[in-house]
Amino acid sequence: MHIALLQHAAFEHAGILRDFMYEDRISFDIVALDEGDPLPDLDPYDALIVLGGPMGPLDYDDHPWLINETALIREAVVERALPTLGICLGHQLLALALGGSLSEMKKTEAGVTEIAFNEAGKRDPLFQGLASKAPSFQWHEWQVEEPPPGAVPLASSALCPVQAIRAAPRAWGVQFHIEASNGTLDEWLTPVGHEDELQTILGPNARTTLSDQAAIHMPRLNADARRMFNNFIQLAQMPAKAIEN
């Protein structure tokens, strides 16, 4: 299997998903869009993963490549039926690419928060093996306001009603960061201004607060991520018609 990963910032990389791919001997190419890498030809790939990033999904002035990236995601899902997984920003871009709408949240969601799967989410094969409620690692100011036509909402949190969608038989978006690992927080807070921003959300002890949360929940977060990744790879290897509900 050969996977394309669309990356929007070096500090917001594929994290523990890279470890899973190395362990499973899955080949992958990182497309660093923020560093000027051209969008890939999708012909060589068996799946597409769209990662998160610090920019807004509609920030075309500073990141004009977002327009073409969104078009590429639509090509992957609609024209090619390519197995696709969007994470955080990738979740939002997937929804946008297929005709959904986005909005800025009234309150930024950050930290370890609980998500709950609805009945469709409990049945969805991407989340097979997960409990009906689970911790999630979050930091986002934008959300999917209206899922695309035909998409199925799968999960929610207290602040964000659309935490996951199934956008096509083999295309999913998750608002939460399944790629998070023990080093994620330090990497996220390295760029100038990021720790100050987190403090406005979680208070003056934001780093300690989130670090403590992560230490408690990371084993569960990583175990759930492994299940979701295994499920995604298994689903990516099946014909789309075989997994339609």
Residues designated as active site: 88, 177, 179
What is the spatial distance between Cα 25 and Cα 13, in angstroms, rounded to a whole number?
19
Contact 124, 80 (CB under 8 A): no
Both tokens assigned to 35:
């560093």
Residues, the chain? 245
Q: Reduced to 3 states, what is the DSSP secondary structure of residue 2?
A: strand
Torsion sign (Cα): 179, 45, 58, 63: positive
Q: Which amino acid is at 232?
A: F
Strand partners, 7: 32
Rg (CA), the chain: 17
Both tokens assigned to 160:
């964000």
Both tokens assigned to 54:
């610090």
138: Cα within 13 Å, side-chain hemisphere? 28
